[in-house]
Structure formats: structure tokens, C-alpha cells
């Protein structure tokens, strides 16, 4: 029995090694899409002591902290087809208003700039204060439009969260903020709060909602009336214990949205029904 357990452990370790190697190779391939790819490859393979790096794309300088996992969010948002394929199906006749909820270091808004979509105003919200500081740098440096940037957590009601957070992670969540890290008091705001502060009375041409499971409470609350003013919504629906994705899709249908496209299993483009 002990031999079987040791064999299982060995197999698990071998599989983990293969997965880690595959992820590293995939990461290096994605780096090739950036203008300074050679510099980045050398930094990631030989000069790893300093976790900060600048990724360059389309004339933009994007600050990334590898110690906070920023590279995953930047590459996923800007290089992978996850958002690109959905955005490619949209067309706009004038500069657009954007709400980026769960902005990480700003990759989604930077992708819009890279795809030459004219921007009128970007309101971006990020929960982790450390990630937010890098998001603010990236958007203020690279976007030539009005900006409204907030360090807050979008949720179902106005509240305050006591969370322990590290340098950053693409999976930072209201529901996993009680582990290791520095304690923070994070302001919780509703969807309607964000809209009223940034766009009151205006149309939001594109909203991106990637809030690691908080989408269920947000869309179940009475404080998402602003969806009436949203034309297009890109949303990632996360699996959550005790919740069903149908809760989200039903709420969106009630708000007048229809599914227009999807990317993978859980990223969707919704548009207002004609």
C-alpha cells in the first residue's frame, strides 16, 4: 500500500512538472507578441532577480510585476484570443465609453487601444491596492482619453471588506481574501455606484465584468439598474459553489441582453436585443 502511495505521489509530481513546463513554454511564446520580446525573454530566463518589467506593444509601455502575476493578466488580455475574438465582432462609429470592472493592471483597456478602438472615457476598477497602483500607471501613461480609476471592489451592496492581499493576482477575489498577505480595508461599491460616478446619464458602449465570482451577487442585487445604459457586455462567469451560471444568464436576459458570442467555456459577449 505504501508503494502504491509513493507511486501516486511520483506520478502527481511528474504531471505537475509537465504542466509547469508547458505553462512556461506558453508564456514564452506569448512574449513573442510584444515589441521588446527579446529583452523580455532574456529577463525571464537569465535576469530574474528584479520582478518588474516593461512590456512594449503598439507604442505603449506596460508595467508588469512578475511577483504579482501581472504577466498572466497582460498576456491573457492582450495576446490570447479570449477578448480579441469578441471585440473583433464589435464596431463603433464614435469614441466609446468603457467600464472595466476587475481591471487587474489594465490589460483590457490597453487591448482596445492596441486594436485602434477610439476611446472617449475609461472607468476602471481594481480591488487589490498593489495591482491598482500599476493599473493606474499603465492607463495614465498609455491612454489619451478621460479616465476615472478606482481602488474598490464591485459587489452587490455598499460595504467594507477586511481582506488580506498580496502583491497581486489575476485570481484575487472577495471570497479568497482571508489568507496570507497584508490586511487591507477595501471599499465595496455597486454597479450603479460606478456608473453614477463615471457616466451618469451617458451610454456605456462596452462593459467588461471579470470579478472572480462576485458577478452572481452583483446581478442579483437591485443596484444594477445602469445595465439599461450598457450596449455591450463582456463577462466571465466563474464556477462558484452553490451557484449556477444560469443565475447570471437569466439576470442578463431580464436586463435585455442576448448572447452574441463566446470565447472558451465561460467568457461571453452579450449585446442589447434589437
Q: Over the stretch 146-166, which tens digit does the pLDDT of each residue have?
A: 999 999 999 999 999 999 887
- Tell me the pLDDT tens digit for each residue of 114-146: 999 999 999 999 999 999 999 999 999 999 999
DSSP 52-120: EEEEEETTEEEEEEGGGTHHHHHHHHHTSHHHHHHHTT---SS-EEEEEES-TTTHHHHHHHHTT--EE
Q: In which band, very low, low, confident or very high, does the pLDDT at 171 lie, cut at 50, 70 and 90? A: low
Give 11's pLDDT tier (boundaries 50, 70, 90): low
- Give residue-wise pLDDT tens across range 178-231: 556 889 999 999 999 999 999 999 999 999 999 989 999 999 999 999 999 999
Write b or e for each residue in 47-80: b if 16 or more Cβ atoms lie within 10 A of its Cβ, otherwise e: eeeeeebebebeebebbbbbebbbbbbbbbbbbe
Express each pLDDT in 16-41 by its tens digit.
565 555 556 666 788 999 999 999 99
pLDDT score at 273: 84
| Mean pLDDT across 238-252 | 96
Average pLDDT, the chain: 90
Topology of the domain covering 69-272:
Rossmann fold (3.40.50)
Question: What gap in Å lies between CA 68 and CA 131, rounded to an integer?
Answer: 8
Confidence class of residue 250 from pLDDT cuts 50, 70 and 90? very high
At 169, the pLDDT band (50, 70, 90 cuts) reads confident
Q: Where are the domains of the chain?
A: 69-272
pLDDT band at 175 (very low <50, low <70, confident <90, very high): confident
Amino acid at each position: 500500500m505504501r508503494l502504491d502511495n509513493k507511486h501516486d505521489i511520483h506520478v502527481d509530481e511528474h504531471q505537475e512538472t509537465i504542466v509547469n513546463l508547458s505553462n512556461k513554454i506558453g508564456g514564452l511564446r506569448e512574449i513573442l507578441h510584444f515589441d521588446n520580446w527579446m529583452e523580455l525573454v532574456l529577463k525571464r530566463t537569465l535576469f530574474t532577480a528584479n520582478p518588474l518589467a516593461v512590456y512594449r506593444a503598439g507604442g505603449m509601455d506596460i508595467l508588469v510585476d512578475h511577483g504579482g502575476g501581472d504577466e498572466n493578466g497582460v498576456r491573457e488580455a492582450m495576446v490570447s484570443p479570449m477578448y480579441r475574438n469578441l471585440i473583433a465582432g464589435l464596431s463603433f462609429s464614435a469614441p466609446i465609453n468603457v467600464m472595466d470592472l476587475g481591471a487587474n493592471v489594465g490589460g483590457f483597456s490597453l487591448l482596445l487601444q492596441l486594436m485602434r478602438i477610439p476611446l472617449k472615457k475609461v472607468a476602471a476598477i481594481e480591488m487589490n491596492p498593489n495591482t491598482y497602483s500599476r493599473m493606474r500607471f499603465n492607463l495614465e501613461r498609455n491612454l489619451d482619453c478621460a479616465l476615472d480609476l478606482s481602488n474598490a471592489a464591485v459587489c452587490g451592496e455598499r460595504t467594507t471588506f477586511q481582506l488580506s492581499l498580496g502583491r497581486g493576482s489575476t485570481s484575487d477575489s472577495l471570497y479568497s481574501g482571508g489568507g496570507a498577505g497584508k490586511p487591507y480595508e477595501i471599499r465595496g461599491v455597486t454597479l450603479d455606484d460606478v456608473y453614477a460616478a463615471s457616466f451618469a446619464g451617458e451610454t456605456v458602449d462596452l462593459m467588461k465584468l471579470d470579478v472572480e465570482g462576485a458577478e452572481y451577487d452583483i446581478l442579483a442585487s437591485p443596484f444594477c439598474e445602469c445595465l439599461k445604459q450598457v450596449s455591450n457586455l463582456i463577462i466571465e462567469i466563474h464556477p462558484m459553489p452553490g451557484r449556477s451560471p444560469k443565475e447570471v444568464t437569466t439576470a442578463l436576459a431580464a436586463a435585455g441582453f442576448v448572447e452574441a458570442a463566446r470565447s472558451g467555456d465561460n467568457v461571453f459577449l452579450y449585446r442589447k436585443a434589437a
